Each structure stands twice: as C-alpha cells, then as structure tokens.
Structure 1
Amino acid sequence: MKQTAKTLPAPLLRWAEERIGAVAAVRDASHDWDRSRVWELEGTGGVSWYLKVSPSEKFYLRESRAYRHVVPALGHTRAPQLVDCQARGDAEASLDAAADGAEKYLARARDRLTEDEWQLIRDHAARLRRVGPVPVGHIHGDNQPRNWMVFEGVLALIDFERARPAACVQDFIILTATQWADHPDREKAFFRGYGRSLTDAERQALRCLTVLDAVNCLAWGPDNGDELVTARVRRTLDRLMREERP
C-alpha cells in the first residue's frame, strides 16, 4: 500500500528555488518504501525537475559521481541532467568548517602558544568567516611536492585520499607555508601555470587558512614527534606575527 505522501521540507524547497527559480507545484515522487524521498518540482513554463534526498552517504556519493562523470558521456538526452547537489554546499561551507576547527586545535596547542599567537589565530578564524564567496571545486587536499610526479615536463598528481569538495584556495595552504614562503618566484610561476590569479577574497582566505593550519600543525607535530612539521610551523607563526605587528 502506498505510504502517506512525503512533504518537501521548507529548507529544501528554498535550496531548490535558489538554483532553478520559482517552484509552482510540488509532487511526491518517492518509491513505496520509507527511506525513499524524491519530489517532482514544476518550474516556470511547465519544466519538471526532480529533487532527491539520498537514503545514505554511500548512495549519495555513488549517484552524484555518476551524474557528474558518467551522464555527460551518455549525453543529456539519455539521462537526467544534474543541476546541483549538496557537495557544492559542502564545498561552500568548507571555510566555515575550517574556522570551526580552530578552537579544537587551540585547545590542544594552548601551552605551545604565546598570548599574542593565541589571539592571532582566533582573530584569523573570525576573519575567515567574513571573506565572502570564493571559487569552489574538487581539491586534491594534500597538494605538495611529495605528491607530484613529472613526466616529460608534464605534472601529475598522486595520493587522492584527501580529495574533497572545498574552496579551491584550500589546495594552496601547504605551498604557502613551505614552497612559497621564501620563494615568491615559485608562487608567481605556479599561478602562471594555474591560469588565473587569486581573487581578493581568496587572498584573504588563504592568509587566514595559513594561520589556522599553523595551529593545526602545532597541535599535531609535537604530539607525533615530527620535528620538521614543528619547526616549519614555528617559522610560519614567527613570520605571521612579524607581519601583523605595526
């Protein structure tokens, strides 16, 4: 027996209308089982859209990847076209998530920070929430020379275990703290190859993220006996403190 029609939650309706415009009518299109949640949305001009809440993270990842990578090869006349998915929402929220994590690392590294350093980190966590929109995408997550391989002048990447949807600028944190810190020529060369410069919001975000990464590493390095990471982060904090002073 068909279950009672499922109501589309108001936050989901707002999310949909931000992407497709005004919705004139909503129809429950779920399958006849309790975990199925699908709605048909009628837009302007009688165009139909479907909004689905996946029953599990595993199914969500499988289906969203298929729509992003398989459907374009099939052609949009042979399968539905993906307009948007929550992965983009996760990416857009990645800067707030980084700011949220600052307090956890501050608690772990509190006795390794001066009062001024502690305040510097809290200030940059607050600033990160105010930088405004930045480009988002699927980042590598551990972008640094140990994960680069060059074949006949072509750069290849390995080790994708930290790849995820996020603000694109988050892929430059490690490079900022290591490869570019004393070699601005390397940074210029990188962005020539990248194909564009950072936006003002991205530059602000990158500075904040570099500060937050420092406290993350200061919590992790000594706890795991990694003297190289610990020394690197101390240099980063010292440099940032000098730059912040009038």
Structure 2
Amino acid sequence: MRQGITEEQSRLLASWLGEFSVVQDCSWPLQDTNVLHVATPAGEGFIVKASTTSHHIRREIAAHSGGFEGLRGRVPALRHASAEAGILVTEFLPGTLVEGTPAEEDPETYRQAGALLARIHRPAGDSSTYATALTAKTRAWMDRAHGLLPEPQLDSFERELDALRPRVVQLVATHGDYQPRNWLQDNGQIKVIDFGRADLRPWVHDLVRLSHQRFVDRPDLADAFHAGLGKTVAPAETDLWRLENLNQAIGTVVWAHQMGDTVFEQTGRTMVKRVLSGF
C-alpha cells in the first residue's frame, strides 16, 4: 500500500473492497491527501482518498451525505467512508479532465458546468453570521499578508472591508473549487469531481475563481456558464460578491506562499490587483 496509508485505513479498505490493485496514484504533490485509482479483479473501479490530517475528507463525506439527487453518473457516488479514520471510497467516474484540453475553450462545457452547479447548489437556509465571520477571516489573512503584499494594497483592502455591510446570507451546498481542473468530459458530457472543499456558503462563492481565471477576456464562456446556471450576481448581492472576492484573493496569496506554490501565489497577486482595480 502507498506510503501514508495507515494500517487502520488499509484494514478498512480490505474489508470494503476485498482484493484490489492500484491503477494510478492521483495524489497532488502539495496536498496531504492520498488519492488512488484502484480496481478489483471483477473490473470495478474506485477512487480512494485517505488522510490523517486533512479536513477535506470530512468535508467530502458531508457533501455526499447531503445527497446528489438525480446526479448519479455526473458526480462520484460514495460507496464507503469513515470520517474517524480519514478515508472514503467513491465509484470511479470515467472521463478526461477538462483542464488543458480543447473542451476548456468550448462554451458548451461551461453551459453544462453551470447547469450542473445549479443542481449541486441545494438550499441550506439563511445565516446572519456568515458575512461577519468571512470578514473576520479576511482580516486574519491580511494580518498574515504583511511582507507578501505592498502595504498600500493592504490599506485598500482595509477600506474595502470597512465599506461593506454584512447582511443575512442565503446558504447553499457549494463545491468550493469549481473550475476545469475538477470537471471531466466524457463523450461530450460534463461531470464534476472532488468535493473536498465543499461547504455551506452563498452561491457566489463558486463563481469567484472562474471569474478571475477562465472568464477573463472570454465573455462567451461567462455567458454560457450563467445561461446554464440560470442567474447572475444581483445588485443586492454586490457587497457579498465583493467580500468573497476579497477573501479568496488574499487567501490565495497567503496560502500559496505558505505551501511554496509560487505559481498559485502569483495567481493570487493577480486576483488582488483585479479586485482592487474595481473588478
């Protein structure tokens, strides 16, 4: 078994799957989660995710426990899980990652992705504390960004936060990292994987990364996505949209620097500039 899989996790896998072989190690170098594509002698394929330290395992289990009614075959189906042991098993979902393929430039990909997200966004009630808590988290990122970003930018962040007026927020079940690296294309059909960053948030959270990456200079992709999703950011949501952008921009810089991911850190710096320029 792969290094990093504990004896308890190995025991659970054996009890759940019986005999199996590792087809591919899909783990990300900078992540603390083991991700394995495995297969049984009967030809069944599964994705195994295991970690003793990552909170993403619990998030993914929770996302699946909430249910994906009507989406079987479009999102992975959970087969086995233990939050205590930090391991889960989903059915293998066939397809090719959209990122880096011609499908990443095709508006139809984004129309389907938007339509899927609309179905993933299950209503989860209102929160009078979400925006206040996110503001506090953003300020915490700012405290850690001294020396990483110019002080004038941090001063601008402070003014932006002060100008926002938190209010009651409608929560939904968000994906948390909704972009082409987590979409599959299978004979023209788009599928969604990796719910390790899923949580209850406002729907606009899932729009931020796309808006700063794939939608830049590609209004056709943005239009297709919103057509599938069935909505755009409303005037009443402007402050919340602004807050989500501020949080994810500065959070990207600090987190990527901490992880030593210089490319992603630069992505965050670009996000910061775009947000403060009036995006």
Give the TM-score band, short-chain normalised: 0.5 to 0.7
User: Does 1:88 find its partner at 2:125?
Assistant: yes
Please name the residue that 1:164 is paired with. 199
Distance 2:231 2:268 in 1: 28
Please name the residue that 1:233 is paired with. 268
Q: Is the 8 A contact 1:121 1:212 kept in 2?
A: no
Deviation at 1:167, TM superposition (A): 0.9
1:180-219 equivalent positions in 2, closer than 5 A: 180-219=215-254
Please name the residue that 2:257 is paired with. 222
Distance 2:201 2:277 in 1: 30
Structure 1 residues 212, 152: closer, same or farther in 2, change over 3 A?
A: same
Q: For residues 78-106 of structure 1, give each alpha carbon's deviation from its aligned partner in whole angstroms, at most 9, with x where no partner exists.
A: xxxxxxxxx635x5533322111012111
Structure 1 residues 188, 127: closer, same or farther in 2, change over 3 A?
A: farther
Name the count of aligned residue pairs.
Answer: 164
Distance 1:240 1:105 in 2: 16
Distance 2:216 2:207 in 1: 12
Q: Which runs of 5+ in 2 are unaligned?
A: 1-57, 70-123
Structure 1 counterpart of 2:253, which letter?
L
Distance 2:138 2:234 in 1: 24
Deviation at 1:135, TM superposition (A): 3.7
User: Does 1:146 find its partner at 2:181?
Assistant: yes
Distance 2:236 2:162 in 1: 14
Structure 2 counterpart of 1:88, which letter?
G
Distance 1:181 1:103 in 2: 27
Q: Is the 8 A contact 2:130 2:169 kept in 1?
A: no
User: Does 1:110 find its partner at 2:143?
Assistant: no
Q: Structure 2 length normalisation: TM-score? A: 0.51
Identity of aligned residues (%): 26
Deviation at 1:131, TM superposition (A): 5.2
Structure 1 residues 149, 202: closer, same or farther in 2, change over 3 A?
A: farther
More strand by share: 2
Distance 2:237 2:187 in 1: 32
Does the residue aligned with 1:231 lie in a helix, a strand or coil? helix
Please name the residue that 1:51 is paired with. none
Structure 1 residues 219, 69: closer, same or farther in 2, change over 3 A?
A: closer
Deviation at 1:197, TM superposition (A): 2.2
Q: Is the 8 A contact 2:252 2:268 kept in 1?
A: yes
User: Does 1:136 find its partner at 2:177?
Assistant: no
Does the residue aligned with 2:232 lie in a helix, a strand or coil? coil
Distance 2:228 2:199 in 1: 22
More helix by share: 1
Q: For residues 121-172 of structure 1, give each alpha carbon's deviation from its aligned partner in whole angstroms, at most 9, with x where no partner exists.
A: 22333344x1544442111111111111123333221111221211111111
Structure 1 residues 203, 145: closer, same or farther in 2, change over 3 A?
A: farther
Q: Is the 8 A contact 1:134 1:201 kept in 2?
A: no
Deviation at 1:230, TM superposition (A): 1.3
Distance 1:203 1:183 in 2: 21
Q: Which runs of 5+ in 1 are unaligned?
A: 1-57, 71-86
Structure 2 counterpart of 1:142, which letter?
D
| Greater relative contact order structure (CA < 8 Å, 6+ sep) | 2
Structure 1 residues 183, 133: closer, same or farther in 2, change over 3 A?
A: farther
Does the residue aligned with 2:233 lie in a helix, a strand or coil? coil
Q: For residues 175-199 of structure 1, give each alpha carbon's deviation from its aligned partner in whole angstroms, at most 9, with x where no partner exists.
A: 1221123323222211011012221
Q: Which has more radius of gyration?
A: 1
Q: For residues 213-241 of structure 1, give each alpha carbon's deviation from its aligned partner in whole angstroms, at most 9, with x where no partner exists.
A: 11111111222111211111222222333
Structure 2 counterpart of 1:146, which letter?
R
